[in-house]
Each structure stands twice: as C-alpha cells, then as structure tokens.
C-alpha cells in the first residue's frame, strides 16, 4: 500500500476509537461488536468476556465473539474459511487477531511457520476491511528479554506493513512481572495468561477502542474462565465451551487487581 494511503488509513483508524465513545449516555450507544480470532492465548481466562465486562463497568456496550482453537495458528483459520463465514454472517466493528506466541519470529522448530503467519495476518486483515471492520493485531509475549524485544519489533513491523492497529504486549508483560511479581500474570502452567494478564490486555484493547484507559474500579465477569484444556466445537463465533464442572463460571476483579493492571497499562513499556 502506498505510504500516503497508509497514513490516511492510519489517521482514520486513530479517529475511529474516539468516535465510538462519543455518546455520553450508555443507553444511547449501539454495541461495539468485536470478533477475536486466536488460540489458547485468547481463550484462557476468556479475554473477550473480560473486555466486555470491563467496558460495561465503564459505561460502554461491547459484545465480543471468538473463533479459537488450542494450538491453532491464524493460517488454520484462513484455510478453513471460518473467519470469512463469520464476517459474512454478522457485522463486526473490530477483528482482533492474535497469533501463537513466537510464530512471528520463527521461534518454532518448523521454519514454515513464520511466512505462514505473515500471509495469514495479511489475508485476515484484508477480509476484515472488506467487511467494514477495523483489524487489530494483539501482541503475544516471550519472557526472555532479547527475544521479547525482537518479538515486539517484528510484530510492529508486520502491523505497520498492513497499516493496522497494533497492541504491543511482550515488553509490558516483562515490566509487569517485575513491578508486581506476586500478581496472577500467568496461568499455573507458567505459559498461558493468568487473570491479571488478561485484565491488562483488556485495558490495552479498551484504550484502542475508546481512546482512553478505563476507570480504576472493581468489576465482575459472568462467563466461563476457560483453561488450556477447554475444548470448543467446530470453529464458530462463540463464547461457549463443552460443559465442564471444573471450569469457573465467573470471576471478580478487585479494586487492587484493577489498580495494578491499570498502572502497567499506563506505563511506558512497549
């Protein structure tokens, strides 16, 4: 895309979040519809539902769906056509894309993952725009400092190349673990996101949608808190998993937890 066109598109994207929050009364707003496309990094702790709950607590209506599958790269969602079908059947304002952690920098032992991730991001970004949705690249994370920095730089380049919004995460995660080491940044396996990391991601996405960070207030999420082993039906926009009594059905974010995540969201780490 020519540089001038890219700048114009990015300018419109920067204006859109502020316009979506222009209505002063919550009841005057139309819901903001968001489609998440990802894997276990997206569904563990239910990022879409936490974003919805955070927005509701701050006077905004957000209704999120997700197309997710454990361990699945974005290329798989291109191949099965699930995202294309979802965008045909329902109008979404935003499409949040989250790749597997490390695929963007070829950290996998399979060298074909890196170009496949780049092509899938391009394809899904184009699909979103064709259907009138704004694509957002949600960053992933690596804990090793040199790898984390390269990951953020690589994701940023990919987003810039496609003129899409990007929410960097990895360096902010490293800063968060140093700032509040006892917080629930990671799931018990030490790999997947914990409740506080999901909250931080939700705040960063909230800012992308509405142009400012949320208020420092506690809130609850009435939705399944999916685990790494949660199983979903065929890729469809859903927030439901196969029933399991082991899955917690709600979660409360206390004022203290919100304050910690908000401090990290305000931080300068990128």
pLDDT (average), residues 249-265: 97
Q: Which two tokens stand for residue 142?
A: 């690596």
For residue range 147-161, list pLDDT tens digits in order.
999 999 999 999 999
- CATH superfamily, region 29-266: SGNH hydrolase (3.40.50.1110)
Please say if the pLDDT value at position 26 is more than 60.
Answer: no
Could you tell me the end-to-end alpha-carbon distance of the chain, in angstroms, rounded to an integer?
26
Please say if the pLDDT value at position 5 is more than 90.
Answer: no
Q: What is the pLDDT of residue 17?
A: 43
Q: What is the pLDDT confidence band of residue 237, given thresholds at 50, 70 and 90?
A: low
Higher pLDDT, 103 or 235: 103
* Most confident residue range from 19-33, 102-116, 256-270: 256-270
Mean pLDDT in the chain? 87
pLDDT (average), residues 188-216: 97
For residue range 88-113, list pLDDT tens digits in order.
999 999 999 999 988 888 765 555 66
The answer to which of 95-109, 163-177, 249-263 has the lowest mean pLDDT is 95-109
pLDDT (average), residues 54-62: 97
Ramachandran assignment for 129, one of left (phi > 0), alpha (psi -120 to 50 degrees), beta (any other):
alpha
CA-to-CA separations, 110 to 74, 113, 114, 150, in angstroms, rounded? 15, 6, 9, 19
Q: What is the pLDDT of residue 104?
A: 86
Q: What is the pLDDT of residue 22?
A: 36
DSSP string, the chain: --HHHHHHHHHHHHHHHHHHT--SSGGGPPPEEEEEEESHHHHTTTHHHHHHHHHHHTT--EEEEEEE-TT--HHHHHHT-HHHHHHHHS--SEEEE-PPTTGGGT-SS-TTHHHHHHHHHHHHHHHHHHTTPEEEEE----SSHHHHHHHHHHHHHHHHHTT-EEE--HHHHHHHHHH-TTS--B-TTSSSB-HHHHHHHHHHHHHHHHSSPPPS--EEE-S----TT----SS-SBS--S--TTS---EEE-HHHHHHHHHHHHSS--
Please say if the pLDDT value at position 190 is more than 90.
Answer: yes
Please say if the pLDDT value at position 126 is more than 80.
Answer: yes
């Amino acid at each position: 895309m020519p540089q001038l066109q890219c700048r114009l598109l990015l300018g419109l994207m920067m204006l859109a979040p502020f316009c979506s929050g222009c209505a002063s009364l919550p009841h005057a707003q139309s819901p903001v519809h968001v489609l998440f496309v990802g894997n276990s990094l997206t569904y563990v702790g239910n990022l879409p539902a936490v974003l919805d709950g955070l927005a509701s607590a701050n006077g905004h209506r957000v209704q999120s769906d997700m197309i997710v599958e454990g361990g699945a790269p974005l290329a798989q969602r291109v191949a099965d056509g699930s995202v294309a079908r979802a965008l045909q059947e329902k109008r979404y304002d935003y499409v949040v894309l989250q790749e597997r952690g490390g695929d963007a920098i070829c950290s996998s032992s399979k060298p074909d993952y890196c170009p496949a991730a780049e092509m899938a991001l391009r394809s899904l970004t184009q699909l979103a725009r064709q259907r009138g949705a704004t694509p957002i690249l949600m960053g992933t994370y690596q804990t090793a400092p040199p790898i984390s920095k390269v990951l953020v730089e690589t994701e940023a380049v990919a987003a810039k190349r496609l003129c899409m919004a990007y929410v960097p995460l990895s360096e902010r995660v490293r800063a968060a673990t140093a700032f509040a080491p006892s917080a629930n940044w990671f799931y018990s396996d030490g790999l997947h996101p914990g409740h506080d990391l999901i909250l931080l991601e939700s705040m960063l996405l909230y800012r992308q949608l509405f142009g400012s960070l949320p208020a420092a207030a506690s809130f609850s999420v009435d939705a399944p808190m999916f685990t790494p082993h949660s199983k979903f039906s065929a890729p469809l926009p859903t927030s439901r998993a196969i029933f399991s009594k082991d899955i917690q059905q709600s979660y409360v974010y206390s004022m203290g937890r919100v304050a910690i995540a908000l401090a990290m969201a305000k931080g300068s780490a990128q």
